[in-house]
Chains A and B, each alone.
Chain A
Amino acid sequence: MAGRRVALKAIDWVSFAERIPANQRSMFNALKTRSDAISAKLTSLPPTPVVIDWSHYKTAVAKAGMVDEFEKKFKALQIPEAVDTQTSVVTAQEAESNKNALAYVEESKARIAQYEATLAKLTNMIPFDQMTVEDLNDTFPETKLDKVKYPYWPHKPIAEL
């Protein structure tokens, strides 16, 4: 019977290892050991079975027709392949992970845009020694003294002096 030749994708474990963050390293190691064990087991089994020498058995076995019957049934036998239930699960996981990753990347890009806006503001602002207090309040709104809430000097709670 024919052996099943599955297209196994070659995985670059080195570059995979580069990409994982430190807090997931133990999970990665577990995955790697598991994968290595499975592939070792696979390579230890030969892909085709031992060939049965029918002619030798025909001459050796005295019972008439037994070997022929065996040979006929053997050749007609189809080994059922195990049903693959997990690939769809993995594909579903992958789709969800893709969705999450895209959302994360979008958020990350928004954060980067924020950072870059602040960076641009900081690099393009006038030097501090040429600023007036109004300029300072314009560039950094958090320095503006709230004269409505605290009408008396120093216009901020004493604790924040």
Chain B
Amino acid sequence: MLSRTVLLSANALKSKGPIGAGLVQASHSLHTSSKSLAPVPPLPEKGGQVRHGIIPEELFQLLYPKTGVTGPYMLGTGLLCYLLSKEIYIINHETLSAASIGAVVIYAIKKFGPTVAAFADKLNEEKVLNAQAVKDVALVGLSQAIEEEKKEQWRAEGRSMLFDAKRNNVAMLLETNFRERIHMVTNEVKKRLDYQIAVQNLNRQMEQEHMVNWVEKSVVGSITPLQEKESIAKCISDLKALARAKASLAV
């Protein structure tokens, strides 16, 4: 009942979430019998309502149809008178002591109740926030992890390209090698034939030169001294004729 006092006078309970929105696990500990599997109702948002700090509201609701608004108050007054007059409750010094302590307690609750309740709420709120933060981080991390795994699977699918590239390389190397061989053969054959032709040409050239030299030599040798004199005289006379012709022209 004291907890109700604190809670009500504080009136600092923050609203925690929609009531009745959560579906509680079937195996809730409140259901002790094994047959019942209905969902347990969610935890109540506020404590029981009280009037004047200690008297539950349910009493007033109970008496309202029969005795109206003032019913419970009349009941309380009558009960108090009965207790005092019949001396079922005797007033003594402890009564005063109880009254003083009660006054102090009520004053303290009214003054410090809200702050204490807020503090307690904050503690709880922090716990819930921590748990929520952990859950959020976990959610994000998990979805990221799933994405990463899918990405890795996609990467692994591309492995055939590597081996295609390798096979291509091998084929290209073989083809290159084959082409080199063909070219080498052709070039060698060509070189041999060209060599033959070059040798032939060289032979012809040398023969030609030699023949020309020989003809020249024989011609020069065949010129006799008499022929030489005659040819020189002819040359001189020709030159003289030419000079005369030139001189006559100049004039």
B141 to chain A: closest CB distance in Å?
9
Least CB separation from B150: chain A residue: A112
- Whether A74 pairs with B189 at a CB distance below 8 angstroms is yes
Q: How far is the CA of A15 from the CA of B193 in the complex (A)?
A: 52
CB-CB contacts below 8 Å: B123-168 with A = 128, 131-132, 135, 138-139, 142-143, 145-146, 149-150, 152-168
- Whether A11 pairs with B168 at a CB distance below 8 angstroms is yes
Q: How far is the CA of A84 from the CA of B135 in the complex (A)?
A: 59
- Whether A8 pairs with B171 at a CB distance below 8 angstroms is yes
With an 8 A cutoff between CB atoms, is A86 at the interface?
yes
Least CB separation from A1: chain B residue: B182
B195 to chain A: closest CB distance in Å?
10
Chain A CB within 10 Å, residue with most, of B138, B169, B200: B169
- Whether A84 pairs with B174 at a CB distance below 8 angstroms is yes
Chain A interface extent, by class:
35 or more
With an 8 A cutoff between CB atoms, is A149 at the interface?
no
With an 8 A cutoff between CB atoms, is A76 at the interface?
no
How many A-B Cβ pairs are below 8 Å? 183
Q: How far is the CA of A101 from the CA of B146 in the complex (A)?
A: 18
Chain B interface extent, by class:
35 or more
- Given known pairs A8-B172, A42-B172, A87-B170, the reply for A130 and B17 (CB within 8 Å) is yes
The residue that B170 contacts in the complex, of A4, A31, A86, A112, with Cβ under 8 A, is: A86
With an 8 A cutoff between CB atoms, is A57 at the interface?
yes
B-chain residues with CB within 8 Å of residue A55 when the two chains form the complex: none
B-chain residues with CB within 8 Å of residue A132 when the two chains form the complex: 29, 43
Q: How far is the CA of A75 from the CA of B101 in the complex (A)?
A: 128
With an 8 A cutoff between CB atoms, is A29 at the interface?
no
Cβ proximity bits A28-65 to B, threshold 8 Å, 1 near / 0 not: 00010011001101100111111010000100111100
The residue that B163 contacts in the complex, of A20, A57, A77, A90, with Cβ under 8 A, is: A90
- Whether A97 pairs with B163 at a CB distance below 8 angstroms is yes
- Whether B135 pairs with A122 at a CB distance below 8 angstroms is yes
B-chain residues with CB within 8 Å of residue A116 when the two chains form the complex: 146
A43 to chain B: closest CB distance in Å?
10
- Whether A134 pairs with B28 at a CB distance below 8 angstroms is yes
- Given known pairs A45-B183, A61-B200, the reply for A90 and B146 (CB within 8 Å) is no
- Whether B163 pairs with A35 at a CB distance below 8 angstroms is no
A-chain residues with CB within 8 Å of residue B68 when the two chains form the complex: none
Stretch at the interface among B19-27, B48-56, B88-96, B111-119: B19-27
B-chain residues with CB within 8 Å of residue A19 when the two chains form the complex: 154-155, 157-158, 161
Give the 9 A-B residue pairs with the shortest CB-CB distance, closest first: A19-B158, A126-B22, A49-B186, A94-B163, A129-B16, A130-B22, A45-B179, A101-B156, A16-B161
Q: List 22 A-B contacts (CB under 8 A).
A: A1-B182, A4-B174, A15-B161, A16-B162, A19-B155, A35-B165, A38-B172, A42-B176, A77-B185, A84-B170, A84-B174, A94-B163, A98-B159, A105-B153, A105-B156, A108-B152, A112-B149, A112-B150, A115-B145, A129-B128, A130-B43, A138-B25
A6-B171, A61-B196 given; name 8 further pairs at CB < 8 Å.
Answer: A38-B169, A39-B172, A42-B179, A46-B179, A50-B187, A82-B177, A129-B128, A138-B27
